[in-house]
Amino acid sequence: MTQTVYLVLADKLADWEYGHVAAQVSLQQFQQQPGRYEIRTVGLTTDPIRTVGGVRMLPDVALEDVSLDDAAMLVLPGGDSWETGELAAFGKLARRFREAGKPIAAICGATVGLAAEGLLDDVPHTSNFPQWLGSYGGAALYRDERVVRADGVITAGGASALEFAREVLAELETFSPATLEAWYEFNRDDTPAAFGKLVASVHE
């Protein structure tokens, strides 16, 4: 059965933060189980949104129509709307996922939404920097790292989109461990040797 990875779309979405995730979840190349996952986008409504880069995007479903039955993960990219509190409903959606035992992944501004909802109070996590998250109950668990994956919660700063994707793919077991390592090395280093390692890893 194909499982759904829900990708949040909201006005002023940070275009660069979700690309690797969406592409590698959807592309069949290098996957352990091609067709296991599909991306569905979710908005507050199904009205179009405009990213920070000016790109118009249309959500597949409205927040109220998200089904947890076939959901594999909720991915929350950052953007300029999180700090205002206008996206608090997505924080509540993330809580629904956590209460159902489903993983969540937030990068940059979206970590503010998780902190405000209390979802970072009991798990190690990171963000752009500690003060970014404001006053919340999990400050002692903040880690000064590019990305943190702990107990089904993935967090990253906005400059770490590649590392964020690596941990999302690890959580979903999209690639074998060897392929995931080679994929990250290739995208980080962009060398013929790294690409050769990636291709070879699929046949090991």
* Partners of 5 in beta bridges: 39, 73
Q: How far is 175 from 24, CA to CA, in rounded Å? A: 9
Q: How far is 15 from 78, CA to CA, in rounded Å? A: 9
Q: How far is 73 from 155, CA to CA, in rounded Å? A: 13
Whether residue 108 lies in the annotated active site: yes
Instruction: Spell out the residues 6+ positions from residue 140 whose beta carbon is closer than 8 angstroms to its own.
Output: none
**Catalytic residue among 108, 153, 154, 165, which?**
108
What count of residues does the chain have?
A: 204
The residue with tokens 């980080």 is 188
Active site residues: 108
